[in-house]
Amino acid sequence: MAATNTKINRRQFLKASASAVISLAVVGSAAYYFKDKSNIREKGYLRPPGSRAEKDFLFACIKCGLCVQICPVHAIKLADWNDGLAYGTPFIDPNVQACDYSCDAIQCAETCPTAAIDFQIFKHAGNEAVAPLFKKYPDGQFPKDINPFEVQILAMKRADKIGEAEVPNPTQCLAYHGQGYKGKLGHGNKGILRPPGTKERIKIQETEVNREICDLCVTYCPLGDEAIVLDKLEDGKFLPKVKDGCVGCGVCQMVCPTDPVAIVVKPVDKEPQFA
């Protein structure tokens, strides 16, 4: 009986050892595979507003998906399995749906449980913007032309730069050729947008526009002429000029009617907070 038990235990041990070796091999292969695919920025993906530097973000994000659920325009998606270590982390694809800041409260940052998307930078920016107003009007009786909430919201939109727009090939831009545009917004995408100065959202595919000179990227930018303007060139042509106020929300890319789009948003590299 003792000999039989010994054989069984030995057999179980060998099976367990083989399983362990196979598991280590799989983990090792996965680690090697992920090592070269951990930088999701190679695909040009944008992180949501308030996201930490990429290295910090990958460690802080627990892939809970709360930011995806709370985004009112469904701009945030989760990275696929072939994105390596970035799998399951949130990103924005402006070709599909840009961040138009129509939530005003930067809800993705507000709901993040680990501060991978950090709301504090928006909170501080908003508080600093309205502090002079409350100092000037301590009783809270503001003039009709001053809305402290709008001042706070605008400051929050300016607070974090997730990307920067650029026109890599001017010849693709309609304005560069002095051309207008009549038709639907965007380039066949099904995005949603809240135009600046309005409260109602519109559907890209259901919105008709008519411009003598195409300026859709300028017209629909949430930050207006502090982020982008239509610049008249010396030869009488026009071209979007991206300014320092651009935060990389991607709205300009989403509404651009050319295919491929003339204006694109590239992610910016942020300084890591942790070694």
Name the more confident of 160 and 15. 160
Give me the pLDDT at residue 86, please.
Answer: 85
- Residue 272, domain member (yes or no): no
232 pLDDT band (50/70/90 cuts)?
Answer: very high
Which amino acid is it at 16? Answer: A
Q: Among 158, 191, 218, identify where a domain stops.
A: 158
Give me the pLDDT at residue 106, please.
Answer: 95
6-31: average pLDDT: 46
| Enclosing H/E stretch for 200 | none
Cα–Cα distance list, 177 to 17, 126, 159, 172 (Å): 69, 41, 35, 9
- Residue 193, domain member (yes or no): yes
d(CA 187, CA 261): 8
d(CA 49, CA 155): 13
15 pLDDT band (50/70/90 cuts)?
Answer: low
Tally of structural domains, the chain: 3
The torsion angles phi and psi of 24, rounded to 5 degrees, stand at: -65, -40
- Residue 201, domain member (yes or no): yes
228-242: average pLDDT: 92
Arithmetic mean of pLDDT over the chain: 86
* pTM for the structure as a whole: 0.82
Q: Among 104, 127, 158, identify where a domain stops.
A: 158
The torsion angles phi and psi of 267, rounded to 5 degrees, stand at: -65, 150
- Residue 185, domain member (yes or no): yes
Same domain, 187 and 261: yes
Question: SS3 for 96?
Answer: coil
pLDDT of 20 higher than 70? no
235 pLDDT band (50/70/90 cuts)?
Answer: confident
Nearest to 88 by CA among 24, 29, 32, 40: 40
Q: Is 81 exposed, middle or buried (0-12, 13-18, 19+ CB in 10 A)?
A: exposed
Question: SS3 for 198?
Answer: coil
DSSP string covering 206-267: G-EEEESS--HHHHT-TTGGGTEEEEEPTTS-EEEEE-TT-----HHHHH--SSS-S-EEEE
Helix 120-136 and helix 148-158, axial crossing angle in degrees, nearest 10: 150
Let me know: does 255 contact 216? Beta carbons within 8 Å. Answer: yes
243 pLDDT band (50/70/90 cuts)?
Answer: very high
- Residue 273, domain member (yes or no): no
pLDDT tens figures, 99-109: 999 999 999 99
pLDDT of 244 higher than 50? yes
10 pLDDT band (50/70/90 cuts)?
Answer: low
Domain containing 20: what range?
Answer: 1-35
pLDDT tens figures, 38-64: 444 445 579 999 999 998 999 999 999
- Residue 275, domain member (yes or no): no
The torsion angles phi and psi of 191, rounded to 5 degrees, stand at: -70, 170
pLDDT tens figures, 174-204: 999 999 999 999 998 899 999 998 999 999 9
123 CB neighbour count, 10 Å cutoff: 16
Give me the pLDDT at residue 9, please.
Answer: 56
Same domain, 170 and 130: no
- Residue 274, domain member (yes or no): no
Let me know: does 143 contact 107? Beta carbons within 8 Å. Answer: no
> For 39-43, 152-156, 216-220, 259-263, which range has the lowest pLDDT when averaged over its residues?
39-43
Nearest to 231 by CA among 183, 167, 161: 167
d(CA 167, CA 25): 46
